[in-house]
Chain A
């Protein structure tokens, strides 16, 4: 262990001397944080807990269906998901959407209630802004859900009226109530199915662990560089356990990984207001992620014969893990992809942060233990294989 530490210190000294430790450990994370800030803007806290979509509505109906739809929008807006602007005319609503004043507009035509209650087809028009596809999708989803509720109610009411169970007045009231309730519940899932930390912190965390993969690869590439430079021969000739060499280089990678992740967490918190969660929980998850990623990259690099080959292999692993683990976009937790995703430290890191935000440190512990487990398995195999690489 003493010799492993000596080798780790030497690796750190060499990284300091060629400045790579400052580039990878400090400059790159700070640059990343700066880019995150540019991408997500200074107002990250404004979009922290809930995403607000700006929509417009021109309700020309004046009947119970129109009133019910207005009630749906009010209900959603009160939850903070929608910011609703009311327009007097369909043209005004269209123009607002076209010009980007709102992300999408609902247009309820005159006579909508009469048409529906009379058994005819009717349409709630959704006009979206081309630069606001998400808002348009949310608006379409609201209109579809409302339409589905109305159709269900319409069928029930028609049956009740035909059998004399319901009067026309009661039917109108029932239609309105049925159209209100389920839509608001369904819309809630648009925002929160796969993430529990806020969206900006999600991406900062995702890109941070993606970045970590490139730092962690140094353990193996450094050893291959030593072989190329001839110094590996001296290490092998020294009276030290050969495991000390691979272990020492892994220690150096872990330390650099911890430093750079800490820089990322602190700067993104201070500069951007990212909300990572309870510091102890974040520290545990960061430590677990660093260990897991260093182990995985040691494993991946163990199949290379040169530092260049190792770098290429590790890049492939980093991008694959990043995509599967939801670094670039959220991955559904269901189905085959969901299961595959759970094989990546990225997914467990993100899940751990989500659990931390929702349930505290104890809730994040399972993710931490899985990360440590990944580190143990990949690290054991990786160190075994890299041990075989220890040849002059």
Chain B
């Protein structure tokens, strides 16, 4: 491992004929970190992770996985990565257990460990009860979960998920997101591609906004939002607000503006999470009665729109 980084992708380039699918993509992922590649279809997400996973030969750049250079033919780095392709990649005529066992053998897992690990993975993805049924008999969500299970079977240092919730019903989608959160909390590094802004916001510690084969911006959600200069808006409906109250509120750190309107206060702040408790403390100190609070935060959709001039789903 280098500098606590599981993955370092530097200046990745890939063209298909005249089409430059990826043009110098650079990002890194630390231990236990969930990194999101957020971009619309055709942005270069899948091509990027195909190079990261050693599926595609890159035209330029470097991929270091746990310090080892990844190519299509190097085997050791592939042992450290778990790939969950966008499309289902399971054998429908085999049971979940048989699917897992086959891929476990390909990762040279010892027999005894494999059997134990299969049971663990089935538990994680919630398929223990149906482990011995053919996967062709599973619902779409169950197949998706098995798809993920195969990826994390061999305890990879980096789990790569390529749009794992596409075409999944809301219930299964939530289950998948919970699984990813669980894995992340256990210290597994995750590379997650999506064009769903909500998923990136919920799961990812850092996000790379990718479009037309380039990463336009990268950082935590907060960093990205600050990048475009937008602020959180807190609207508080309160009684007993006077000039002294307003002055104290305006004096709080991170508060840009406070304006009273029709029994409410509109506050523009850099971080609603930090400012709101302080604002409530000031209001309480001045004896103001609070009847409702609304927080409006700019989202990554707005960031994407600002950076690319188009919506994520365009």
Contacts and interface: CB of A to CB of B under 8 A. Distances in A.
A18 B93 contact: yes
Interface residues of A, number: 23
Contacts of B105: 3, 6
Given A6-B106, A13-B98, A234-B150, A239 B93 contact: no
A63 to B, nearest CB: 80
A235 interface: yes
Chain B interface, >50% SS class: loop
A10 interface: yes
Interface string B174-193: 00000000000000000000
Nearest to A232: B89
Contacts of B223: none
B83 A234 contact: yes
A377 interface: no
Contacts of A14: 91, 93-94
Interface in B75-128: 75-76, 78-79, 81, 83, 85, 87-94, 98, 102-103, 105-108
A392 B93 contact: no
B54 interface: yes
B37 to A, nearest CB: 17
Interface string A237-261: 1111110000000000000000000
B107 to A, nearest CB: 6
A236 B50 CA distance: 10
Nearest to A238: B106
Given A6-B106, A238-B78, A392-B55, A231 B83 contact: no
Nearest to A5: B105
Given A10-B102, A230-B89, A239-B107, A392 B78 contact: no
Contact of A237 (B78, B93, B102, B108): B78
B155 to A, nearest CB: 13
A239 B78 contact: yes
Contacts of B92: 229
B75 A230 contact: no
B73 A242 contact: yes
A235 B53 CA distance: 12
A47 interface: no
B50 A392 contact: yes
A234 B103 contact: yes
Contact of A392 (B56, B81, B150): B56
Contacts of B89: 229-231, 233-234
Contacts of B55: 233, 236-237, 392
A20 to B, nearest CB: 10
Nearest to B46: A392
Interface string A1-27: 001001100100110011000000000
Nearest to A235: B106
Interface of B: 50, 53-56, 72-73, 75-76, 78-79, 81, 83, 85, 87-94, 98, 102-103, 105-108, 134, 150
14 contacts: A3-B105, A10-B91, A17-B134, A229-B89, A230-B89, A234-B85, A235-B106, A236-B72, A237-B83, A238-B106, A239-B76, A239-B78, A239-B108, A392-B55
10 cross-chain pairs, A with B, having the tightest CB-CB distances, nearest first = A230-B89, A239-B78, A17-B93, A238-B106, A239-B75, A237-B83, A230-B87, A239-B79, A392-B55, A234-B89
Given A10-B91, A239-B75, 20 more contacts: A6-B105, A7-B106, A10-B102, A13-B98, A14-B91, A17-B134, A18-B93, A229-B92, A230-B85, A230-B87, A230-B88, A233-B85, A234-B83, A236-B72, A237-B54, A237-B55, A239-B76, A239-B108, A240-B106, A241-B75
